[in-house]
Copies of this chain bind each other. A is one copy, B any other.
Amino acid sequence: MREFILKASKAFTKMFRLNDLPGAGRMDLVCRCVTNALWLSHALRRDIIFHAALEGPDRPPKILSFDGEKLVGVSLDERNIASNICIALEKGYNLRSNEEIELPSGIKIAKKSFEQLVKEKSKTTQLFYLHPKGKDIRKVEFTQNVCFILGDHLGLPSATEKLLKRFNAQKISLGKIEYLASNCVAICNYELDRILELS
């Protein structure tokens, strides 16, 4: 299983206007990451789960999970993904701690924090996060279950890095250039695809 966790530190946890996704705490960025994690040309990646940890106003924290195996009727354009997120946020607005619901679209929403999710994943999964000083992704030995952790436009704060180190997350690098979070997702997928093709 391949998973991604995006720490979306400003992304709204209430309904938002579909005509202004950047104004909803950079929901546009969240949507692009979903697209790049899950869609191939004419197919969904069935072996990938993408999680967005939304930490913006006004009911944080919330985890949205998009499982490529379960998604139904969601298109890959920003507006469509955003409209599905909006429905999830409405339905999950009043969830209590650790409660979760699954929508007809297959999207899950949970009242859970980024820290809780990372802790859960650390038990079964090899954790990675991107850092300019990390080990070159082409030299990393990946196991069967991997999870890539990404920051939004504000990056991962140092407190989060400390947390990730505590859970043995490895720092990896895509080179010297700092890419958009959504492109980091696309490139991690690509690098793993290349490794799997060779194995």
Could you list which residues of chain A lie within 8 angstroms of chain B, going by C-beta atoms?
Answer: 18-19, 21-22, 28, 32, 35-36, 39-42, 75-80, 153, 174-183, 186-187, 189-190, 193-194, 197
Contacts and interface: CB of A to CB of B under 8 A. Distances in A.
A190 to B, nearest CB: 5
Indicate how many identical chains form the complex. 2
A79 B18 CA distance: 10
A194 B42 CA distance: 28
Nearest to A194: B175
A41 B187 contact: no
17 contacts: A19-B19, A22-B80, A28-B76, A28-B79, A32-B35, A36-B180, A36-B186, A39-B180, A40-B177, A41-B178, A42-B153, A42-B178, A79-B79, A175-B197, A179-B186, A183-B190, A190-B190
